[in-house]
């Protein structure tokens, strides 16, 4: 977590990083305000130390002479000391509020730019490309192997849309909610169970968790880059609670103020939860179906590791998540997000994007990122070392975003000749032996 006092001597580097992230003018202004507040803090602190030194000297003079003038001046200075302590506390609070808004540094290999500037790492699987999309595919993804299809692909909402009820759900819950029906319910649970089983076998289940679906807003502010989440969070204002946007947040809260023994780390956690997001600012995007919804299910992986281990953990997760998606028969790629798209908490942020034939492009289904010490410093999550205590490094990853993955399965495994969706073989035993969904 960037601290103002540590950024004084690195202010130019941090300004450059903010520009690379395409930070808002408001955020840049807040950073400059933080530097100015810290200057005031140092000035007041120096004055406080001088006052304390003067008071100590007066106390000694009074002890030596018993002259009341020394005692009166000492009492006057005592009041000034208390005033300066209050000023420092107020400045500390203002600086702390600004620090909560400061984004993390960026790793050196994060490309600069926006969505189109993401850096591909690896393509896995062979996407099916409709013949009319062939030229566009080759232009956008040069050199990537593909399989040509003569059948016009159907959009996921034309497939999954027949197996959910958005219209009725909207009547009693609002837009971007849905009721899952019949086979989709089985796929929902099957994907969750398969993901837990798959990643458990990969060594991520040091602890399995289902956390509360709500948490205190004040706790969330310690954990998340709250200004990024504010517009999407559902609040229960009277109770001071929010509905969680991901179990990653409650996992961190669970381990707040924890001091681990060195041998306890790395600690790898799998958690299942529903996730709630307002999807503010997403007007007109994926309004049909359940690719972008206000409520969805997710299996989250969270890894708490030691110093210098987080980037290797990100790479391990990337490979394992890509193997998981390949086991479902879903072509995909991994990319390092460009600076403007990188999670404000993250040093480095990788997305797994899955091929969607009807959209003729890869869409984000997974996120993997290291936050470094950004969150552990906020919640005081540490581990013991020979030298004392060290902040943990926290890495998060999507194991499976269930509804988005169902959409990807529908588009990629649709059999146009028989008008059915074929259920991936690895899911069938978890889906009560469901092999296909006839439309």
pLDDT at position 362, please?
97
> 189 phi and psi, to 5 degrees?
-70, -35
> Largest Cα–Cα distance in the chain?
105
pLDDT at position 283, please?
55
Q: Is 96 helix (H, G, I), strand (E, B) or coil?
A: helix
C-alpha 81/C-alpha 179 separation (Å) is: 63
Which CATH code of 3.30.1600, 3.30.1490, 1.10.287, 1.20.120 fits the domain covering 4-99?
A: 1.10.287
C-alpha 290/C-alpha 284 separation (Å) is: 13
Is-same-fold flag (4-99; 115-438)? no
pLDDT at position 266, please?
97
Q: Where do the structural domains in the chain lie, given as residue ranges?
A: 4-99, 115-438
Q: Is 159 helix (H, G, I), strand (E, B) or coil?
A: helix
Tokens for 87, please give them: 């000023």
Spelled out in words, what is the top-level CATH class assigned to the domain 115-438? alpha beta
Q: Is 50 helix (H, G, I), strand (E, B) or coil?
A: helix
Q: Is 371 helix (H, G, I), strand (E, B) or coil?
A: coil
Tokens for 382, please give them: 């540490």
Contacts of 40 (CB under 8 A, 6+ apart): 91
Tell me the average confidence (pLDDT) per consecutive run of 10 residues in the chain, 439 residues long: 92 96 94 96 92 77 67 77 92 91 94 95 97 95 94 91 88 90 96 98 97 90 67 86 92 96 97 88 66 93 97 98 98 98 96 96 97 94 96 98 96 94 97 94
pLDDT at position 51, please?
87
pLDDT at position 218, please?
83
pLDDT at position 42, please?
95
Distances (CA, A) of 333 to 3, 62, 122, 326, 363: 35, 77, 5, 10, 9
């Amino acid at each position: 977590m960037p601290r103002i006092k540590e950024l004084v001597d690195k202010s130019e580097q941090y300004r450059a990083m903010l520009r690379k992230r395409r930070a808002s003018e408001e955020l840049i202004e807040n950073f400059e305000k933080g530097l100015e507040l810290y200057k005031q803090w140092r000035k007041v602190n120096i004055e406080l130390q001088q006052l304390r030194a003067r008071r100590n000297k007066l106390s000694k003079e009074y002890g030596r002479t018993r002259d009341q003038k020394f005692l009166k001046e000492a009492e006057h200075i005592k009041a000034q000391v208390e005033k300066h302590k209050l000023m420092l506390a107020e400045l500390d609070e203002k600086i702390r509020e600004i620090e909560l808004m400061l984004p993390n540094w960026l790793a050196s290999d994060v490309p600069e730019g926006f969505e189109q500037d993401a850096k591909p790492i690896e393509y896995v699987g062979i996407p099916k490309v409709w013949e009319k999309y062939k030229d566009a595919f080759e232009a956008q993804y040069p050199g990537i192997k593909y399989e040509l299809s003569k059948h016009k692909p159907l959009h996921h909402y034309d497939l999954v849309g027949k197996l959910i009820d958005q219209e009725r759900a909207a009547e009693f819950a609002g837009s971007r909610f849905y009721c899952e029906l019949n086979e989709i319910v089985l796929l929902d649970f099957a994907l969750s169970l398969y993901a837990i089983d798959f990643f458990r076998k990969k060594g991520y289940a040091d602890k399995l968790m289902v956390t509360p679906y709500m948490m205190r807003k004040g706790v969330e502010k310690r954990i998340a880059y709250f200004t990024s989440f504010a517009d999407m969070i559902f609040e229960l204002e009277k109770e001071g609670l929010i509905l969680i946007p991901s179990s990653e947040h409650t996992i961190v809260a669970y381990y707040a103020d924890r001091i681990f023994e060195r041998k306890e780390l790395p600690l790898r956690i799998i958690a299942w939860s529903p996730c709630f997001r307002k999807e503010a600012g997403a007007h007109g995007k994926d309004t049909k179906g359940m690719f972008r919804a206000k409520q969805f299910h997710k299996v989250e992986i969270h890894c708490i590791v030691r110093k210098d281990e987080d980037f290797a953990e990100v790479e391990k997760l990337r490979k394992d998540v890509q193997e998981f998606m390949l086991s479902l028969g879903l072509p995909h790629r991994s990319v390092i997000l460009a600076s403007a798209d990188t999670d404000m908490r993250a040093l480095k942020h990788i997305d797994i994007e899955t091929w969607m034939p009807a959209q003729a492009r890869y869409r984000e289904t997974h996120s993997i990122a290291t936050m470094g010490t950004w969150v552990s410093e906020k919640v005081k999550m540490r581990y013991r070392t020979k030298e004392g205590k060290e902040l943990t490094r926290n890495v998060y990853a999507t194991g499976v975003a269930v509804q988005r993955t169902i959409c990807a399965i529908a588009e990629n495994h649709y059999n146009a000749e028989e008008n059915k969706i074929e259920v991936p073989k690895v899911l069938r035993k978890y889906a009560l032996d469901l092999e296909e969904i006839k439309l």
